[in-house]
Chains A and B, each alone.
Chain A
Amino acid sequence: MLEQKGAEDFGDGSTADGVSQPTEFGFDAQSEAEIAEHIKKYPPGKQASAVLPLLYIVQGQMRRQTGSAWVPRVAMDAVAARLGMAPIRVYEVATFYLMFNTSPIGRHHLQICRTTPCWLRGSDAIEAACREVTGITGWHETSADGLFTLSEVECLGACVNAPVLQIDDDMYEDLDHDSTVRLLEAFRRGEKPKPGSVTGRLTSAPEGGPTTLTTLQNQGPPPEPAPPLPAE
């Protein structure tokens, strides 16, 4: 038999079915300031190009105001009106990109990368840790305490620090089961651990320090800069 496609099928959480939508939305002062910055990047008549930043701004404002970073339909209408677009054009963009939540989420959005490099480096263990701590069983579901929403995402572009977990707008890297549990416990206590590698390495430098070009250290002063090219 035919079956209605829901968010569960594709994990994009972008269905509006059953979502309690607010009836009003207005940009606050911080959003207005950010909008002005973005809109002026584009020539007159091309303001629609700012649709992605504006949707992010909406999502940020919702986080500030409600604790849930999502984009209500009425806010998309506000974006459409501000940019002179038909509302459907904004809906298309918002439902296409997984980064926009079109239904309310928990206070923190756990986004597990499950693309090949992270998976090979143990993203299954990250997922298991997330589920243990939050009690969430499915995808794009929110924990009973309303603190966490768990999503599966495609490559986050941080393969050198795999496996990674994006929490809200920040990347936490080089995770394993135990460090993930500790990370989420910290969030649960209301702390905001420093983003980046949890093992302490500098960005994507090798664990335990550099392993190449070590012989170039302490070899005397750097060479003189090359003389300028003679004028033609």
Chain B
Amino acid sequence: MISFELDGTAVEAASGETLWQVAQRRGIAIPHLCYAPQPGYRPDGNCRACMVEIAGERVLAPACLRRPTEGMKVSTQSDRAVFARRMVMELLVADQPPRAGAHDPDSEFWRWAERIDVTESRFPAARRWAPDTSHIAMSVNLDACIQCGLCVRACREVQVNDVIGMAYRNAAAKPVFDFDDPMGESTCVACGECVQACPTGALMPAALLDDAQQRIHYADRSVDSLCPYCGVGCQVTYHVKQDRILHVDGRDGPANRRRLCVKGRFGYDYVTHPHRLTVPLIRREGVPKRADDRVDPANPWTHFREASWEEALDRAGAGFARIRAAHGRGALAGFGSAKGSNEEAYLFQKLVRLGFGNNNVDHCTRLCHASSVAALMEGLNSGAVTAPFAAALDADVIFIIGANPSVNHPVAATFIKNAVKRGAKLIVADPRGQALSRLATHALRFTPGTDVALINALLHTIIAEGLYDRQYIEGYTEGFEALRERIAGFPPERMAEVCGVPAETLREVARLYATSRAAILFWGMGISQHVHGTDNARCLIALALITGQIGRTGTGLHPLRGQNNVQGASDAGLIPMVFPDYQPVDDPKVHAWFEAFWQAELDDRRGLTVVEIMRAVHAGTIRGMYVEGENPAMSDPDLNHARTALAELEHLVVQDLFLTETAFHADVVLPASAFAEKTGTFTNTDRRVQLARPVVPMPGDARQDWWIIQKIARRLGLEWNYAGPAEIFAEMAASMPALANITWERLEREGAVTYPVDAPDKPGNEIIFGSGFPTASGRARIVPADVAPPDELPDSDFDMVLSTGRVLEHWHTGSMTRRSVALDELEPEAIAFLAPRELARRGLHAGAMISVETRRGAIEIKIRADRDVAPNMIFIPFCYAEAAANLLTNPALDPVGKIPEFKFCAARIRPLASPLYHRS
């Protein structure tokens, strides 16, 4: 502690504390503009609004930068300091538009100006810049800019997007986007961090301003909740005006530290889209179901009629009861949702198991990380990450394979970028290039589908060169000898021919990973969505285990989860093989426990998975389905097949926000609650259980999902009477050892708790498996894998490789993001990404329309040139209903994880003659 004198009072400062922080702590307000006391922002000391006087020093000092020393005498209120601060403000006020005409009269700047009573200036104004309204979501009005550089720090140091810079010099200095481009035409990824940081209103959410660029909207209340999109689990504050979300700020949550991405910050308005379902719908008599039928979501009345809740629920429940009675308990299935809360997921799987009488309950985890979870369960007996993504900050080496975090987990990517800036080495392995490749020490663009070859070459090098951690292997693993024998057949030289990465590079990467003090491994769908997805994950697990890069600070295995609650929905039991908390349905002890817990007879056979259920519909064994918040008519592989199956169903109940492509084929459509309308717990990719709160009321006659599920359960003879999410959570937690010591009250109090937790008053364990694993032997199992080709290789008929995924602005099947004005404006149409070289070779050009065909279907889509895509490859996001990539994808399954091979199939392209896109 450092003792010094602040305004005549003896005070103490902790090491590293600045004068501003000590003053703040003691209730002394010192103005600050270029300093944001927020995580990730260093003080810069350029605006001089926080000057204080230090006895014995000739000049004043900026309180935001200066740290006290022993015996220092600081005066924050001396005449000289106060006069200097007022003068700084007066000089800045001179160049501002007057407060009455300010872009944001409520900005930090004007609040401080008012507080120190300097709102007018004697100085002449400088010439200023014109507004830049080129971006749909953000307005740039540099006439209010004070060049404090917070936007530059936001873009460069916090989010590490490096779009904003301070260009020109002296009086002409100003923040610019790229090369002084209009914001909307720059490489800006619209994370909005600069808008959140700007203290003057020079950068603002466009939604707050009128055409004259003056703020006309002010929130009348604010609600702390979460972001509805990916698995990162950002905490946000929603600002609400007249029950509509006005704008969004990042909160200081443990996962996001106030950061957000474009989806979280600007993608909130889908909840009030005119397509929202506001009344229950029943299919009109005599409207046939056709696989290729389409319904206008704005006008469902061609196929549906309005119904009362009573009638719709009766119809929904009676349909299930009828099929169950006529065809037995195996004839029904349910798809739950990874977008809903833990409580909804728990209730839904319980409904299927008790009401339908079988275990045919699955959800989209089957399509994203089923193989990763299968491999993790097999190896570690735990399906979750071993360390949070922020552990990257403590790592020396970060290895990312088959994932594109800056697009799919943008806020997680910021922490990885922070780590690289701090000096960590980054390895990126992916057939496609990506934004992170630029920061990587090794960017391996390997041949698609050769993941096992690549990782086996790394394992081979580590074992051959003795770089493995013998002590760790002996202490905590089993199966190393088998791996050692098997891996001998995979030397880097041979694997280089398979995966296209030079042997020496493979060796360098292996050495880098194995010998670093702390290395962490991230993977995504590029690993899991293959017929050898489980093998891919097994290899990665082996990599971490034999090098002991697990269970310590800065190490671990982290499969990045794609949806906001895919971790929680899996935990809660939306999986056909397991009850809540991954307890096998066919384990007699577990089965008996749950029969007692739920006081019901349960099926002890594993249920069917997503793709298997569709096949069973075709086969006629499954006749009725309940789909809650999922859209298999867009997300399943080989959609023609999946949509035919949906159309063949005798009884389909869809519960959703919109009339999705799946709902086109429904008998009953139930209007559900959006994320922003519900209370519930959600578990992020870090195993962090967080509480969401209702922000706005539900539209029309929409209802809470848990309420709808309960009503249907009651119509299937279950006497459920839950009062709400808190009660459901309590029951769920009682069946899940992982949730021990996490209570609803604790979540209300703390907002976020990471499982596992040792005691009610102890924080959760962020990094697990420091000393052994929850397996029978206490050891992790190393499982070797052989190289296997993808299911469908290119040939002379279909000569290219098709891969699918996401774009930054759109999420999952696009049902939400394509109904967000800003997001759809930023990425408005279906596009296929191809390498410029490939385009040149084929005489095609960006903007042209092509037909992409596989053995399963064809779509028409516009070309975008992208150097990140390998030649001979096509990348198509699967979010576009008008050109659904999954009409093309291959439903071949990984034998263990039952995940389809979305990342690889054979395809061909054909130019379409279109006068609109004719080359001039």
Contacts and interface: CB of A to CB of B under 8 A. Distances in A.
Most-contacted residue by chain B among A4, A14, A92 (CB, 10 A): A92
B162 interface: yes
A2 B168 contact: no
B162 A89 contact: yes
A171 B618 CA distance: 86
A92 B166 contact: yes
Contacts of B127: 3, 5, 9
A186 interface: no
A10 B167 CA distance: 13
A12 interface: yes
B430 interface: no
Nearest to B172: A10
B171 interface: yes
Nearest to A14: B168
B18 to A, nearest CB: 27
A95 B162 contact: no
B168 A87 contact: no
B143 interface: yes
B130 A88 contact: no
Contact of A12 (B164, B165, B169): B169
A73 B172 contact: no
Interface in A1-47: 2-5, 9-10, 12, 14-17
Contacts of A9: 127, 172
Interface string B148-187: 0000000010000011111111111010101111000000
A3 B128 CA distance: 6
Nearest to A73: B179
A110 B162 CA distance: 35
B129 A10 contact: no
A14 B166 CA distance: 13
Contacts of A89: 162, 165
Contacts of B130: 2-4
B131 interface: yes
A87 B178 contact: yes
A12 B163 contact: no
B168 A91 contact: no
A10 B171 contact: yes
Contacts of B168: 10, 12, 14, 95-96
Given A5-B127, A5-B129, A95-B167, A88 B178 contact: yes
A16 B165 contact: no
Contact of B180 (A10, A16, A86, A87): A16
B162 A86 contact: yes
B162 A87 contact: yes
B167 A91 contact: yes
Contacts of B128: 2-3, 5
Nearest to B97: A2
B162 A96 contact: no
A76 B180 CA distance: 14
A226 B127 CA distance: 65
Contact of B131 (A2, A15, A86): A2
A89 B170 CA distance: 17
B162 A12 contact: no
A76 B167 CA distance: 14
Nearest to A15: B180
Nearest to B176: A91
B167 A12 contact: no
A88 B162 contact: yes
Interface string A52-80: 00000000000000000000010010000
B103 to A, nearest CB: 12
Q: Which of A5, A17, A88 has the most CB of B within 10 A?
A: A88
Given A2-B130, A5-B127, A10-B172, A88 B143 contact: no
A95 B172 CA distance: 10
Nearest to B177: A88
Nearest to B160: A86
Given A2-B143, A16-B179, A87-B178, A92 B129 contact: no
A91 B180 CA distance: 9
A132 to B, nearest CB: 29
Contacts of B156: 86, 88
Contacts of B129: 2, 4-5
Contacts of B178: 87-88, 91
A15 B176 CA distance: 11
A91 B179 CA distance: 6
A73 B178 CA distance: 10
B873 to A, nearest CB: 23
B152 to A, nearest CB: 9
Interface in B115-129: 127-129
Contacts of A98: 169
Contacts of B172: 5, 9-10, 12
B318 to A, nearest CB: 62
A88 B163 contact: yes
Nearest to B171: A10
A161 B60 CA distance: 40
Contacts of B165: 88-89, 91-92
A76 B165 CA distance: 14
A73 B167 CA distance: 14
B168 to A, nearest CB: 5
A87 B186 CA distance: 12
A73 B156 CA distance: 20
A12 B171 CA distance: 11
Contacts of A17: 180
A17 B877 CA distance: 34
Contacts of B170: 10
A89 B169 CA distance: 14
A15 B167 CA distance: 10
A51 to B, nearest CB: 13
Interface string A75-110: 010000000001111011001101000000000000
A95 B163 CA distance: 15
Contacts of A73: 179
Contacts of A15: 180
Contact of B164 (A4, A5, A88): A88
A53 to B, nearest CB: 20
B559 to A, nearest CB: 29
Interface string B686-705: 00000000000000000000
Interface in B124-151: 127-131, 143
Contacts of B164: 88
Nearest to B166: A92
Nearest to B170: A10
Interface in B438-486: none
B128 to A, nearest CB: 6
A17 B143 CA distance: 19
A76 B129 CA distance: 25
Nearest to A85: B162
Contact of A96 (B131, B167, B171, B180): B167
9 contacts: A2-B130, A2-B143, A10-B170, A12-B172, A88-B178, A89-B165, A91-B178, A95-B168, A98-B169
Q: Which 9 interchain pairs have the tightest Cβ spacing?
A: A86-B162, A88-B165, A95-B167, A10-B172, A92-B165, A4-B130, A2-B130, A96-B169, A95-B168
Interface of B: 127-131, 143, 156, 162-172, 174, 176, 178-181
Given A5-B128, A91-B180, 7 more contacts: A2-B129, A5-B174, A10-B170, A14-B167, A17-B180, A95-B169, A98-B169
